C-alpha cells in the first residue's frame, strides 16, 4: 500500500529564474512514478500557450487553465495524487485554505509563482503559501544589468523602469520584464 502524506512545495523567485522548468521537472518525475498528476495554470497567463504550462526556455506540460481557486476545485479529479499550480501569485486567497485541504487528502501540491511583484513587494497569496510549505526553493536569475545573481523582477516601460504607481499586473515576458539584482532594481516614485 502506498503511504503518501500530503505536502506543499513552493518554487519561487524572480522572472527568468527557472521556476516553471523546475516545476515541470518535478511533475514529470511524478508522472514517471505513475502518480496521477493534474496541472493548473492561471488563465491570465497565455503568453506561450492556452492549455500548456510553458517555461521561458520552452519546456512545456499540458495544463488546465483556471481563473480562480473554485475552478481548480471543480476540475480536480478524485484520483489525483499530485497537483501542479503555475503562476499562483495571480490566484485569489482561497488558494491558501484549499492547498491545506489538499494536503489533508494526502495530495502533493507543487506551486510555482513570483514571491514579489515588480515593486519587490509580496505578491498575492504567495507569502502565505511559502509560510505553509514543507519545502521552499527560491531560485535566482542573472541580473541583466551587472551579471550578478538576481532576485528581483524589473518592469520596463519604453526601456525604462516602471513607476511604483503603475499597475501591478501586466502579463509579458522579455519585452516588459527583466531580472535584476537588488542594487540594479529601480522603481521610481513620482
- Whether the pLDDT of residue 28 is over 90: the answer is yes
- Is position 178 annotated as part of the catalytic site? no
Residues 6+ apart with CB under 8 A from 26: 9, 11, 84, 110
Size (the chain), residues: 190
Q: Write down the mean pLDDT value for the chain.
A: 92
- Whether the pLDDT of residue 109 is over 70: the answer is yes
Residues 6+ apart with CB under 8 A from 182: 151, 152
- Whether the pLDDT of residue 102 is over 80: the answer is yes
Residue 41 cell numbers, joined: 495554470
Pick from 12, 85, 8: nearest CA to 42: 85
Summarize the confidence of residues 83-100 as an average pLDDT.
97
- How many Cβ atoms from other residues are within 10 Å of residue 58's Cβ? 8
- For the entire predicted model, the pTM comes to 0.91
- Whether the pLDDT of residue 92 is over 90: the answer is yes
- pLDDT tens by residue, 52-77: 788 877 788 999 999 999 999 999 99
Catalytic residue among 9, 22, 87, 178: 87
- pLDDT tens by residue, 110-165: 999 999 999 999 999 999 999 999 999 999 999 999 999 999 999 998 889 999 99
| pLDDT at residue 2, as a whole number | 47
Domains annotated for the chain, with CATH where assigned, are: 7-139 (3.40.50.300)
Amino acid at each position: 500500500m502506498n503511504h503518501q502524506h500530503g505536502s506543499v512545495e513552493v518554487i519561487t523567485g524572480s522572472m527568468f529564474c527557472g521556476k516553471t522548468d523546475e516545476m515541470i521537472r518535478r511533475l514529470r518525475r511524478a508522472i514517471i512514478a505513475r502518480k496521477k498528476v493534474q496541472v493548473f495554470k492561471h488563465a491570465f497567463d497565455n503568453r506561450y500557450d492556452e492549455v500548456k504550462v510553458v517555461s521561458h526556455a520552452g519546456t512545456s506540460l499540458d495544463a488546465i487553465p483556471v481563473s480562480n481557486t473554485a475552478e481548480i476545485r471543480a476540475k480536480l479529479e478524485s484520483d489525483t495524487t499530485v497537483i501542479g499550480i503555475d503562476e499562483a501569485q495571480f490566484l485569489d486567497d482561497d488558494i491558501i485554505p484549499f492547498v491545506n485541504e489538499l494536503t489533508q487528502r494526502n495530495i502533493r501540491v507543487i506551486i510555482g509563482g513570483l514571491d514579489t511583484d515588480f515593486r519587490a513587494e509580496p505578491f498575492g497569496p504567495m507569502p502565505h503559501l511559502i509560510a505553509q510549505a514543507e519545502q521552499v526553493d527560491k531560485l535566482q536569475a542573472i541580473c541583466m544589468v551587472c551579471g550578478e545573481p538576481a532576485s528581483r523582477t524589473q518592469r520596463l516601460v519604453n526601456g525604462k523602469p516602471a513607476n511604483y504607481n503603475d499597475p501591478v499586473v501586466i502579463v509579458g515576458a522579455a519585452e516588459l520584464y527583466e531580472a535584476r539584482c537588488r542594487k540594479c532594481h529601480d522603481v521610481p516614485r513620482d
